[in-house]
Every structure is written in structure tokens, then in C-alpha cells.
């Protein structure tokens, strides 16, 4: 007999087939209804979040939750504004499903179409952040994917309230199937969800390094995501220092509890003496704890900086997610690139330089999903990349990489239109030749004529 979890998963899987065929206008109407529903239910959302925050703060005092998780849990009116804006941005985006990617004539009257289509049923497992629910639900709906959500227990009330508001608005839109979006709430359901490889096509984990690694190591379902966010900024000896001060401060301080915040600052030795005094002052004013390698420690010590801390080998491998930053001097751009590729997580890394050759070298040799030149690592975000929102950030080298929007929620299939054609005619002693000619034809135009 199927468990309650399996029933939810199977219901969503069945609904995913219908959802894949829903037209864009219907999906956009549902998205607008979802945005309006969030706006109309602000008090309900804030009240639910207040209950979660009270419990989370007790757990933090007991050492059971980190400050970073509590920060991510908070919902405010401005965050609700962001949720609404994110959904409406998705409405403006082109529907990625049903697009003809390529048309190839195999022979006269025998045309092969490569067409984008939804992945199917997506499982989203996340910690703490309730705004993940509207972000991913809107992207999955627009791309035609059914979704199973499993949030952390620390955000139970917030997740349930936001989910119920969105699903009610969506399913009250004519043409949207019921059951395509499901919410799971208990800790025990995680392992059961990871075992649903017969039905779930893709898992997207959102959370800490350990959390993502746990998901990756305990399922046979394909996982889109990243385990670490160890990001770097390299200040080159040809850097404009005014740009460097702004970029380095923003990359660490603007929001330190996220995966695209800088964790290691690399400084070219030639400009360290000029650059470090002002940069250290700015970090100190912002409350950043600095951990120096031997050479940068000596410079900081000579500047009269108190309470100095030395970096260890472990610091180069650490994602702090708080106001802590490791600092290292390097002799060259080659050393900086080698450090980044050796210790980084291939997430987001930046260079500050005015040298065109070094800019090109950094872009070509840093093996990260996002590479910034004279810009903050914090720009590595689906909304900022114009994707409306993001389902996550992937450092994998699979079908989607970097901040992943709807393009990461579609795959493709092949459609062959023939007229009684058979392979036997193209084999044997006197086979017909294939033409293999690219055509400028859309499958939708052919089917609608």
C-alpha cells in the first residue's frame, strides 16, 4: 500500500503531464493571481513568520540553529514585495517550453524537430528561507513543471501559509490542474522523498554545505545545486583602488549569509601596502573579522591593527556565511588563479584590474560558474541576471550552470514527422541517402496549420 508521501508524489506526477500542456496565457493568469494573493494576505504571512522566528530564536540560544539560518528565515513587508515582484517578473519572461531548438530534414518529407519541454516533477528541499516557495513555484509553473516542496521545520508556519496562499490562487485559475504542487513538512519525509526516483525527475536542494552534500549522497535522483560557496576577489596590481574598495566591501558585507558572498580576499603583493590600510578600516567599520596569512598579517601588524588573527589552511576551504574574511597576498595573477581553482567551489570569483590582458586571462582560466570583472560577487543571482528569480545556483557541469532560472527547468525531446517512412529504405545494398539539411521551421507552425 502506498504511503501518504508516495500518494502525494504520484498525484503530482500525474498532474505534471497535464501541466506540461497548459498554454502560456493560462499560466500567466495563475501567476498574476498568486502575486495578488500574496499582497492581500500580508498580515497572515507575517503572523506565521513571527511564530517561526520566536521558536528559531529559542533554538539559536540553545545552539541548535545558526544566526545565518535565523536571518534567512525573516520575512518582512519588503521581502513580500520582493516575492510579488519576482512572480510578476516571471510573467514577463518568455515561456521556455515548446520552443523549436533545431529542425533537421533527414530526407524530403521526413523532418526531425528538437523541442524544449518541461523536466516533469521537481523536488525542492530547502532550509529556512520561506521566499524560496514563491520563487521556485512561479518558475516551475511558468515552465510547466510540477513540484514537491520540503522546507525546514524552522520555517514550518511560514512555508505552509505561503504555500497554501499560492496554491489556492493557482488552482482557482481555470485550466491549472489540481495536485501539481505539494508540500511535505516532517523531517521523516526527507528520506522518503529522496527514495522517489521512480517519479521525481530532478532534485534542487537549497541550504548549507552539509545539507546539500547530504542530499547528493543519499539519492539516486539527479541533483542540481552546489555544496559550497567559497568565493574570491583578487585585487590585481593594475587595479583601480577606488573600485577595489567598493567591490571588496560589497562582496563581503552587503549580505554575508549567502553563497555568493566573498570568503577570501586575494591581494597582489605590489599594491598591498597602499591598498590594505583603507580596506582594513572599511572592514573594521563594518564589523568584519579578518584572518590574515603570514605576509598580510605582518602588514596589518605594522599598521597597529589590534586583535589580529592568523588564517589557517582550513580557512581557505571555509564558507563562513558571516562577517569573517580570510586575506592572502599573492605574487601574481597566476598564483591567484591557482589558489581560486584549488580552494574555491567554482561558484563566483572576481578580479579587480584595469589590465585587458589580465582580465582576459582571468576570465579564460578561472573555472567558475560566474566570473566577475570589476564587479561584486553578489551579482551572481537569478533576479540580477534577469531570470526573474532562480531555482538555485549550480556549480555542476550539466545542462544548467551558475544562477539557474527557467532554462534549467526544461530539457528537450525529438519529434519526427514523416509519411510512412521506414529505415529499410536507408539500409541494404542500395540505400537512399539522408539529406541532413537544417531547416528554418517551427514545429508549432506545422502543427497549427
Q: At residue 390, does pLDDT exceed 80?
A: no
Q: At residue 70, does pLDDT exceed 90?
A: no
The predicted structure's pLDDT at residue 2: 64
Considering the chain, what is the average pLDDT of its residues? 91
Average pLDDT score over residue span 400-428: 87
Q: Residue 341: pLDDT band by 50, 70, 90 thresholds?
A: very high
For residues 106 and 373, give the distance between their C-alpha atoms in angstroms, rounded to a whole number: 45
pLDDT in tens, 117-132: 999 999 999 877 899 8
* Closest residue by Cα to residue 148 from 95, 227, 202, 80: 202
* Closest residue by Cα to residue 145 from 321, 405, 388: 405
pLDDT in tens, 4-43: 888 899 999 999 999 999 999 999 999 999 999 999 999 9
Q: At residue 388, does pLDDT exceed 70?
A: no
Q: At residue 77, does pLDDT exceed 90?
A: yes
CATH superfamily of 231-384: Aldehyde Dehydrogenase; Chain A, domain 2 (3.40.309.10)
Where b means 16+ CB within 10 Å and e means fewer, 352-375 reads bbeeeebbebbeeebebbbbbebb
- CA distances in angstroms from 425 to 104, 112, 393, listed in the order given: 19, 17, 48
Between 72 and 145, name the one with better pLDDT. Answer: 145
Q: Could you tell me which residues are beta bridge partners of residue 402?
A: 394
* Closest residue by Cα to residue 143 from 433, 409, 368: 409
Fold classification of 4-100+118-224+400-410 (topology level): Aldehyde Dehydrogenase; Chain A, domain 1 (3.40.605)
CB 156 within 8 A of CB 130: no
The predicted structure's pLDDT at residue 226: 66
Q: What is the 3-state secondary structure (H, E, C) of the chain?
A: CCCHHHHHHHHHHHHHHHHCCCCHHHHHHHHHHHHHHHHHCHHHHHHHHHHHHHHHHHHHHCCCCCHHHHHHHCCCHHHHHHHHHHHHHHHHCCCCCCCEEEEEEEECCEEEEEEEEECCEEEEEECCCCCHHHHHHHHHHHHCCEEEEECCHHHHHHHHHHHHHHHHHHHCCCCCCCCCEEEECCCHHHHHHHCCCCCCCEEEEECCHHHHHHHHHCCCCCECCCCCCCEEEEECCCCCHHHHHHHHHHHHHCCCCCCCCEEEEEEEHHHHHHHHHHHHHHHHHCCCEEEECHHHHHHHHHCCCCCCEECCHHHHHCCCCCCEEEEEEECCHHHHHHHHHHHCCCCEEEEECCCHHHHHHHHHHCCCCEEEECCCHHHCCCCCCCCCCCCEEECCCCCCCEEECHHHHEEEEEEEECCCCCHHHHCCCCCCCCCCEEECCCHHHHHHC
Q: At residue 393, does pLDDT exceed 80?
A: no
Q: At residue 301, does pLDDT exceed 80?
A: yes
Between 227 and 184, name the one with better pLDDT. Answer: 184
Q: At residue 399, does pLDDT exceed 90?
A: no
Q: At residue 420, does pLDDT exceed 60?
A: yes
Q: What are φ and ψ of residue 347, in 5° steps? A: -95, -80
CB 359 within 8 A of CB 353: yes
Average pLDDT score over residue span 425-430: 92
Q: At residue 52, does pLDDT exceed 70?
A: yes
Between 327 and 381, name the one with better pLDDT. Answer: 327
pTM across the whole model? 0.77
- By percentage, how much of the chain surpasses pLDDT 90? 71
Average pLDDT score over residue span 172-188: 91
CB 124 within 8 A of CB 150: yes
Highest mean pLDDT among 4-13, 186-195, 200-209: 4-13
Between 193 and 162, name the one with better pLDDT. Answer: 162
Query: Where do the domains of the chain lie?
Result: 4-100+118-224+400-410, 231-384
- Most distant pair of Cα atoms in the chain: their distance: 87
Amino acid at each position: 500500500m502506498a504511503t501518504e508521501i508516495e500518494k502525494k508524489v504520484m498525484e503530482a506526477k500525474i498532474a505534471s503531464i497535464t501541466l506540461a500542456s497548459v498554454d502560456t496565457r493560462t499560466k500567466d493568469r495563475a501567476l498574476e493571481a498568486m502575486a495578488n494573493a500574496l499582497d492581500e494576505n500580508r498580515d497572515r504571512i507575517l503572523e506565521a513568520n513571527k511564530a517561526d522566528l520566536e521558536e528559531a530564536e529559542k533554538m539559536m540560544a540553545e545552539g541548535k540553529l545558526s544566526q545565518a539560518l535565523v536571518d534567512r528565515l525573516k520575512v518582512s513587508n519588503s521581502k513580500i514585495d520582493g516575492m510579488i515582484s519576482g512572480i510578476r517578473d516571471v510573467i514577463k519572461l518568455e515561456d521556455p517550453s515548446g520552443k523549436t531548438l533545431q529542425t533537421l530534414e533527414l530526407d524530403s518529407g521526413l523532418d526531425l524537430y528538437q523541442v524544449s519541454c518541461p523536466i516533469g516533477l521537481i523536488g525542492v528541499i530547502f532550509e529556512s528561507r520561506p521566499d524560496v516557495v514563491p520563487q521556485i513555484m512561479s518558475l516551475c509553473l511558468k515552465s510547466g513543471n510540477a513540484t514537491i516542496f520540503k522546507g525546514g521545520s524552522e520555517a514550518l508556519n511560514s512555508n505552509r501559509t505561503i504555500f497554501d496562499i499560492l496554491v489556492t490562487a493557482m488552482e482557482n485559475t481555470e485550466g491549472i490542474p489540481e495536485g501539481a504542487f505539494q508540500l511535505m513538512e516532517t523531517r521523516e519525509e526527507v528520506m522518503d522523498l529522496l527514495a522517489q526516483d521512480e517519479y521525481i525527475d530532478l532534485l534542487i536542494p537549497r541550504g548549507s554545505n552539509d545539507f546539500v552534500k547530504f542530499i547528493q549522497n543519499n539519492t539516486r535522483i539527479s541533483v542540481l545545486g552546489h555544496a559550497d560557496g567559497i568565493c574570491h576577489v583578487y585585487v590585481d596590481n593594475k587595479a583601480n583602488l577606488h573600485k577595489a574598495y567598493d567591490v571588496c566591501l560589497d562582496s563581503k558585507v552587503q549580505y554575508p549569509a549567502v553563497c555568493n558572498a566573498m570568503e577570501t580576499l586575494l591581494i597582489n603583493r605590489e599594491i598591498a601596502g597602499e591598498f590594505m590600510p583603507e580596506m582594513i578600516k572599511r572592514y573594521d567599520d563594518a564589523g568584519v573579522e579578518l584572518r590574515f596569512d603570514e605576509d598580510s598579517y605582518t602588514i596589518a601588524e605594522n599598521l597597529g591593527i589590534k586583535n589580529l588573527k592568523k588564517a589557517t589552511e582550513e580557512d581557505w576551504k571555509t564558507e563562513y556565511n558571516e562577517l569573517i574574511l580570510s586575506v592572502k597576498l599573492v605574487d601574481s595573477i597566476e598564483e591567484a588563479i591557482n589558489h581560486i581553482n584549488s580552494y574555491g567551489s567554482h561558484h563566483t570569483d572576481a578580479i579587480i584590474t584595469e589590465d585587458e590582458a589580465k582580465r582576459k586571462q582571468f576570465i579564460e582560466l578561472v573555472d567558475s560558474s560566474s566570473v566577475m570583472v570589476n564587479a561584486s560577487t553578489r551579482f551572481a543571482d537569478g533576479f540580477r541576471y534577469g531570470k526573474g528569480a532562480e531555482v538555485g545556483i549550480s556549480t555542476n557541469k550539466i545542462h544548467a550552470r551558475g544562477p539557474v532560472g527557467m532554462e534549467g527547468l526544461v530539457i528537450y525531446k525529438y519529434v519526427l514527422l514523416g509519411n510512412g517512412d521506414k529505415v529499410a529504405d536507408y539500409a541494404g545494398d542500395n540505400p537512399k541517402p539522408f539529406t541532413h539539411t537544417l531547416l528554418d521551421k517551427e514545429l508549432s507552425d506545422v502543427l497549427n496549420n
